[in-house]
Amino acid sequence: MNTALRQYLVITGNYWAFTLTDGALRMLVVLHFHQLGYSPLEIAMLFLFYEFFGVVTNLVGGYLGARIGLNRTMNLGLALQVLALAMLAVPASALTVPWVMAAQALSGIAKDLNKMSAKTGIKLLVSDANQGKLYKWVALLTGSKNTLKGVGFFLGGLLLMTAGFRGAVVLMASALLLVWLSSLFLLTQELGKSKAKPKFTEILSKNRAINVLSAARLFLFGARDVWFVVALPVYLHTVFGWDFWKVGGFMATWVIGYGFIQTIAPRLTGNPEDKKPVVLWAGLLALVPAVIATGLMAGIAPQLAIVGGLLLFGVLFAINSSLHSYLIVSYAREDGASLDVGFYYMSNAAGRLLGTILSGWVYQAYGLGACLWVSSGLITLAALFAAWLPDQRTAPA
C-alpha cells in the first residue's frame, strides 16, 4: 500500500469516527431538549454557536492548516469534540442553555477543523492531472461521511432511549478519545503545510471561481437546513406522532441513502468539464421543495408528500453536493490549498447557520410548508450563482 493511500485511509477513518459522533450528538440534542419542552426556535438557538463558530473556524482554519499542517488541525478537531462531549456529560441540573451552547460552540469548531483538514488532505494526495480520480476520492469521502452521519442520527435516537442523554455522550467521548490517540501517531507530520508562509490577510479568497462557488454553496446548504435541521424532526414527532426511535431511524435512513448517492455521483454526472451540470442539477433540485409544498396545500396525504418528496430531494441534493465538493478541491491552489477550501467551507457553515435559524423561526411562525418555499427560493439563488462560474478548464488551479 503506497503512502498516499495509507494517509487517505487514516484521514477517512478519522472523518468517519468524528462524523458518527457529530450526527448522534445533533439528534440527541434535538430530541432530548424537545422532550424537555423547548420550542422549535429555542432548539434552533442551541445550535446557534455551533454554526456561528463553524463560520469562524473555516475562515481561520484554512490559514492554520497552511501554517501548521493539516495533521495538527485534524487532531485538534478530534480533541475538541472529545471536550465538547465531556462538557455535556454533567448532571442534568447543570445542562443550562448557556452551557449547552458553549459545548455546541466547541463541537462546531471541532467539526469544521476536521472537515477542512479531510477535504484539503485529498487535494494534496492526488495530482492535478488526475481529475477523474480526484472526483471519485472526494465523492467517496463525502458520501461515506454522510452515510455515517445518518448512522449517527440512528445511533443518537437509540442511545437516548437506552442509555439516556448523559450515558450516550460519555460512551461517545470515550470512543472518540481512542481515535484521537491513534491519529496522533498515524498522520504525516507535514501534511498540507505551505512552503510559503501565508499571511493572515490571505484568509479571504481573491479567486473569482472560489468566491462564486462559495456563494452558491451558502444558499444550497441554507436550503437544506431550513427544513431539515429543526422543522422536519419536530414535525415528524408532533404531526405524525412518531416516537424518537422512528424519527431517528427515518432521518438516519435518509442521510445514509443520501451518502450512498454521493459516492456514486461521478457515475451519474460524469467528470464535469464546465459549469452546465452544476446549474442543471441545482435547477432540478429547486423544483422539489416547491412541489412538496404545493402537494401539502392541495391536500395530498402528508406522509406521501413529505416522505416521497424527501427521498427525491435527497438524491438530487447529494448530486449537487458532490459536484460542489469536487469543484472546490479542483479549483483550490496547490500550495496553501487549505486557504481556499477553508474559505469555501466558511460559506458552507454560514449557509447552515442561516438555515438553522430559519428552520426554527419559519416553522414556529408559519409551518413546514413555508420552510419548503424558502428552501426552493434559496436553491434558485444557488443555481443563479452557479451560472456565473467560469469554465472549469480555464479556472486557476
Residue 80's pLDDT band, with cuts at 50, 70 and 90, is very high
The domain 3-187+201-394 is placed in CATH, from the list 3.30.1280.10, 3.20.20.80, 1.20.120.80, 1.20.1250.20, at: 1.20.1250.20
> What pLDDT score was predicted for residue 193?
55
First to last CA, the chain: 28
223-234: average pLDDT: 86
Between the alpha carbon of residue 338 and those of residues 132, 168, 231, 256, the distances in Å are 21, 33, 33, 28
Residue type, 197: K
Task: Share the mean pLDDT of the chain.
Answer: 80
pLDDT digits (tens, 9 = 90+) for 188-220: 656 555 554 555 455 555 677 788 888 899 999
Residue whose C-alpha cell reads 490577510 in the numeric block: 201
> What pLDDT score was predicted for residue 72?
81
Residue type, 45: M
Grid cell digits, residue 204 = 479571504
pLDDT digits (tens, 9 = 90+) for 127-181: 555 556 666 767 777 777 777 777 888 788 788 888 888 888 999 999 999 989 8
- Is pTM beyond 0.85? Reply is no
pLDDT digits (tens, 9 = 90+) for 363-394: 988 989 999 999 999 999 999 998 888 765 44
Q: Where are the domains of the chain?
A: 3-187+201-394
